[in-house]
Amino acid sequence: MYKRLIQTLLPALVVLLSGHAIATQAADDAVTSSEQSPHELIETVTDDLLQMIDEHRETFDDEPQAFFDSLDCLLTRVIDFKWIASNVMGTYRAEATDEQREQFVETFHRDLIETYGRGLISYGDETIVVLPPKEDLEGKRRVTVVQEIRGKDGVFPLYYSMALNREGVWKITNVVINGINLGKTFRNQFAQRAEKYDGNIDQVIANWSAPSDVMKSEG
C-alpha cells in the first residue's frame, strides 16, 4: 500500500508543468500563493487534494477527465512544471529546438497528471503532516519543506525543494522521498531514452509514457 502511495502521491504533489489553467484562475492562485509561507502552501494544497480525491472517487471510472482537469488546476498552484521539465532534459535541453522543449513540457505535464492521478484515487486514510520549519525563513528564496505520511506501516518523509519565482510565488522544483530524488530519476530516464533513440529528441518525447527501466529500478 505504501509503495503504491509513494509512487503516486509524491509526484502528483511534487514533481513534478504550469500553463494549462485559465488565466483568471492562475492570477487568483498567484495572489493566494504569495500570501502564504511555503509550509502553509503545501499544507493547503494537500488538504485541497485530499478533498478533491474524495469528491471524485466514486465518479472517476465514468469521468476520469474531470478529475484530471481539477488536479491539473490545483497542482499548477504549487508546481513549476516548466522548470522541472527543462531540468529533466538535462544536457539535451541545449540541443533541442524551442518547439521540442515546449512539446516535452506538455508531454511531461500530461503524463504526470494522468499517470499519478489514477494512483491518487486509491489513496487510503493515512495521515499527512507538514513539519514546521526549523529556522527563520525571512528573506530566503529557496527552502525545503518536510512532510510526513504516517500510518501503521511506518513514517515516510517527503522533502519538497521550493523556490520563490520572479512573481514572488513559491513553487515546488523537486521532491525527494526516502532518498529517491524524483528530479534525478526523471533526468536519468530522459538520458536513457535519448541513448536508446540515438539522440533523437522527437522519439524521446513520443515514447515518454512508455515503461522505463529507470523507473522500474526505483520501484
**Residues 83-98 pLDDT 10s:** 999 999 999 999 999 9
Is domain 2-218 annotated with CATH 2.60.40.2130? no
Q: Please state the φ and ψ torsions of residue 144, each to the nearest 5 degrees.
A: -115, 125
Label residue 120 by pLDDT band (50, 70, 90): confident
Grid cell at residue 180:
529517491
Residue 125 has pLDDT above 90, yes or no: no
The cell 499517470 sits on which residue?
115
pLDDT tens digits, one per residue of 106-118: 999 998 888 878 8
Residues contacting residue 45 through CB under 8 Å, at least 6 positions apart = 13, 74, 75, 77, 78
Average the pLDDT over 32-60 and give the result: 86
* 51 CB burial (10 A radius; 0-12, 13-18, 19+): exposed
The residues near 162 (Cβ < 8 Å, ≥ 6 apart) are 38, 42, 142, 143, 144, 145, 170, 171, 172, 173
- The predicted model gives 178-184 an average pLDDT of 88
Residue pair 5/53 in contact by the 8 Å Cβ criterion: no
Give the cell for residue 54.
Answer: 474524495
Dihedrals phi, psi of 122, to nearest 5 degrees: -90, 5
The pLDDT, as a whole number, for residue 211 is: 63
β-partners of residue 81 are none
- Please state the separation of Cα 171 from the chain's center in Å: 10
**pLDDT, mean of residues 24-43:** 62
Nearest of 41, 44, 33, 72 to residue 56 by alpha carbon = 72
More confident residue, 103 or 36: 103
